[in-house]
Amino acid sequence: MVQTVIPKATAKRLPLYYRYLNFLYNAGKKKVSSTELSEVVKVDSATIRRDFSYFGALGKRGYGYDVETLLNFFKKTLNQDHLTNVALVGVGNLGHALLNYNFQQTNNIRISAAFDVNPEIAGTIQSGVPVYAMDDMVNQLKIQQIDIVILTVPAEDAQAVSEQLIQAGIKGIMNFTPMRISLPANVRVQNVDLANELQTLIYFLDHYSKKDKLHHLQSS
Amino acid sequence: MVQTVIPKATAKRLPLYYRYLNFLYNAGKKKVSSTELSEVVKVDSATIRRDFSYFGALGKRGYGYDVETLLNFFKKTLNQDHLTNVALVGVGNLGHALLNYNFQQTNNIRISAAFDVNPEIAGTIQSGVPVYAMDDMVNQLKIQQIDIVILTVPAEDAQAVSEQLIQAGIKGIMNFTPMRISLPANVRVQNVDLANELQTLIYFLDHYSKKDKLHHLQSS
DNA sequence: CAAAACCTGTTATACTATTAACAAATCATT
DNA sequence: AATGATTTGTTAATAGTATAACAGGTTTTG
């Protein structure tokens, strides 16, 4: 039952499957069943089989899935067979931490340029990444043909900076600010709202009882 | 239609509503309609009305919602009327950045203790937060009655450290490591998987067309 | 080789979430 | 006070997600 468009929920789990398949492969495992995989990724085995089935028949009945085959399949599907360059805007505390985060090792993603208003760090190299002034941003993004940006600027600058990013032809923004930015519909925004997540965790602890089935699941 | 248990999807949006209500209140706004709120938080107005209705009739037909009333209601509901202390385990790059993140200002959450294996920083104060050695962790968490932890240790230590956290009686873990940890069902885990989110964003850009309705929504 | 054990892919079902639509109520205006 | 403009709260319709169950195969074992 091969489909062109995969459910959003499934798409969100793909990188997780890929990561764990890598672990299994590196551990020398040849095959894996949906039940085994379920135990490590904490996703119901039926959900895993359904997720995989959107891509066709990847497994073998009575056997399971061949780890290497599956790994290679997802590598292509997730575009992990070539390096993806992204930029980071706002080299503050969080920005700095992300410059040091090794996206390349597991995900073949590299932060190849950073931007900041602070004239003291513009022009320097931070954690191996060249930092440019904001004035150069639109230009550099175009030259370097980057279309994905990690946004770690102060909340009050989020909207203005985002509008500049649109000028630069950016297609996706991973938004770490607490603001919901207004953008054209063809630009995809992925909000990573840390305070929100923590607050939600607290809310769940306060309002959902211990025997609640929710507690068996882990949230994204 | 007052309910005791609110849908998970609704619960996740509450902190966002609360944050924006604060903005509106501080801007001197007295009332707000679901349509107005919808424009700033990027959530359908019908969804907002439905979300609010789980808590009873908070608004007035033909008028909208009284900002102050709504704000105070959510303040209580989200436990933001008192300070919540949490701990952070693993003072690396990301850990450090989170110590500097001001959770208290908007969310009345404070990181009141941190823990790290590095003997050079154990015993010091980092960004205003005392750092303890890992040997003291279980004891300190019990003494300080902390039941929520932000986990920013290296991936390979995630499971072992988590098991210690269980010993300390922790009830919730915000897991920044790329590992899915195995824990008793009564402990709630909120996974914040940065590489995963970035990878998902890339997948969406590659596989969903511009005219796709998905692009009008913003992901959590 | 036959029987038992195993495991996928899919069908059927249940659950969860979103959104359109509108009656009922309030507000603003003349 | 009557009319028209708003806006909620909810009902009904739709969309999206998860999972149980099992037929149809494969592998393993006696």
What is the extent of the structural domain holding B19? 8-77
In a domain, A209, yes or no: no
Q: Which residue is nearest to nucleotide C11 (CA to C1')?
A: A50
Question: CA A121, CA B47: separation in Å to the nearest integer?
Answer: 44
**pLDDT surpasses 50 at A182:** yes
Q: Do A144 and A112 contact (CB within 8 A), yes or no?
A: yes
**Residue B80 DSSP symbol:** T
pLDDT band at A1 (very low <50, low <70, confident <90, very high): low
Q: How many residues does chain A have?
A: 220
B48-52: list long-range contacts, CB under 8 Å, 24+ apart: B48/B17, B50/B10, B51/B10, B51/B13, B51/B14, B51/B17
Please give the average pLDDT of every successive group of 10 residues along chain B, which has 220 residues: 84 98 97 98 98 96 97 96 97 98 95 98 97 98 98 98 98 98 96 98 85 47
pTM: 0.94
Identify which of A20, A23, A24, A47 has the alpha carbon closest to the alpha carbon of residue A34.
A47
Sequence-distant (≥ 6) Cβ neighbours of residue A22 within 8 angstroms: A71, A106
**Residues B65, B102: one domain?**
no
**Nearest residue to B208 via CA among A106, A12, A128:** A12
Q: Where are the alpha helices (DSSP H) in B27-145?
A: 34-41, 45-53, 67-77, 93-100, 103-107, 137-143
Flag whether A214 is in a domain.
Answer: no
Q: What is the pLDDT of residue A109?
A: 98
Q: Same domain for B145 and B162?
A: yes
In the chain, the amino acid numbered A118 is N
Does B42 lie in the same domain as B123?
no
Q: Which residues of B line the annotated binding site for NAD(+)? A: 90-95
**B16 and B59 co-located in one domain:** yes
- Contact: A96, B93; criterion CB under 8 Å: yes
CA angle A210, B83, B220 (to 5 degrees): 65
A13, A148, A202, A219: which to substitute to probe chain B, counting the most B Cβ within 10 Å? A202
Q: Given this model, what pLDDT does residue B211 score?
A: 43
CATH number at residue A48: 1.10.10.10
Task: Write out which nucleotides of chain C lie closer than 7 A to a protein Cβ.
Answer: 5-11, 16-21, 23-27
CB-side exposure of B142: number of CA atoms within 13 Å? 10
Q: Whole-number Å distance, CA B83 to C1' D13?
A: 43
Q: How far apart are CA A19 and CA B179, in angstroms?
A: 9
Q: Within 13 Å and on the Cβ side, how many CA atoms surround A177?
A: 25
Please indicate, yes or no, whether residues B73 and B112 belong to a single structural domain of this protein: no
A102/A57 same-domain check: no
Q: pLDDT tens digits for A18-66?
A: 999 999 999 999 999 999 999 999 999 999 999 999 999 999 999 999 9
Residue A156 lies in a domain: yes
pLDDT, average across residues A108-127: 97
Q: Three-state DSSP class for B32?
A: strand
DSSP B1: -
* In-domain check, residue B202: no
Q: Is A139 inside a domain boundary? A: yes
Q: Is residue A203, in this structure, part of any structural domain at all?
A: no
pLDDT of residue A215: 37
**B93 touching A (Cβ < 8 Å):** yes
Same domain for B93 and B190: yes
What contacts A177, CB < 8 A, 6 or more positions away? A151, A152, A153, A154, A155, A158
Q: Does one domain contain both B135 and B157?
A: yes
Question: What's the pLDDT score for residue B154?
Answer: 98
In this structure, the answer to whether residues B131 and B158 fall within a common structural domain is yes
Taking the C-alpha atoms of residue B143 and residue B139, their distance in angstroms, rounded to an integer, is: 6
Interface of A with B in 157-186 (CB under 8 A): 171-172, 174, 178, 180, 182, 185-186
Q: Is residue B215 part of a domain?
A: no
**B29 DSSP assignment:** -
Lowest-confidence segment of A117-121, A215-219, B60-64 by average pLDDT: A215-219
